[in-house]
Structure 1
Amino acid sequence: MLPDGSWHICKAPANAFHAVQGSPRILKDGKSFTSESVKRDQLSDSFWKGQNYRVAGGVTADGRLYQPRTLDKVDMDTLGGIMLGLGCTNAINGEEAAAPTHSRMITDGVAK
């Protein structure tokens, strides 16, 4: 998050005061970007095609941030569909999602 309250999926600018790391990028400008990002990051097929618990960070066109966690194991393409369903135009796969107890879903500032 930048001081003006805006969210971005990119390399964190120097003035950012909140940042989330993850890979691969799963949405770019409202379209799937997983395969391009997997090639860039040199990730194995089993990483993005495999079923796993996932967390993601995404931003909608109007600047809302979503950081959901799946309750079931999904592949990266399914995660991208979830983020699109939330209205995200840009999204990344998050880190530390190996078990469903590692993170909780935050909606309107409330942990669920």
Structure 2
Amino acid sequence: MSLILCLLAIALLGVAAWGFRSTMLELSKWYPQEPMDTISRRFEVDSFVWSSRAPRALRRRYIATQACAIPAILCLAALVWLNETRPDVRIWGTVAFCTVSFLIAGVLAWKVIRHEV
């Protein structure tokens, strides 16, 4: 069971990373003069996606791929719950991963509702 959860988490995080990277490539088409792998470019991705400059298809792909991070983090929470032997670490680790997952879900849902995608 742990192997399946681990592989699922890796696959889902890979999809989320691919979506972020493809959005960075699209952003580099709008600003070709700047290098693509700068730290500031990574912070611009979110504002670009939610702006009117981003195509609707790109925005939907970004939302779908970033939503894959939510079950991936829940898989990590399940891995902590199943494999940690110390009860305090098991509880706090699971709570931490679940909290991060719910925060990501809430922020993504708030942005989708706010921008009426």
TM category (shorter chain) comes to under 0.3
TM-score (norm 2): 0.25
Answer with 1 or 2: which has the greater Rg: 2
1 or 2, which has the higher strand percentage? Answer: 1
TM-score (norm 1): 0.26
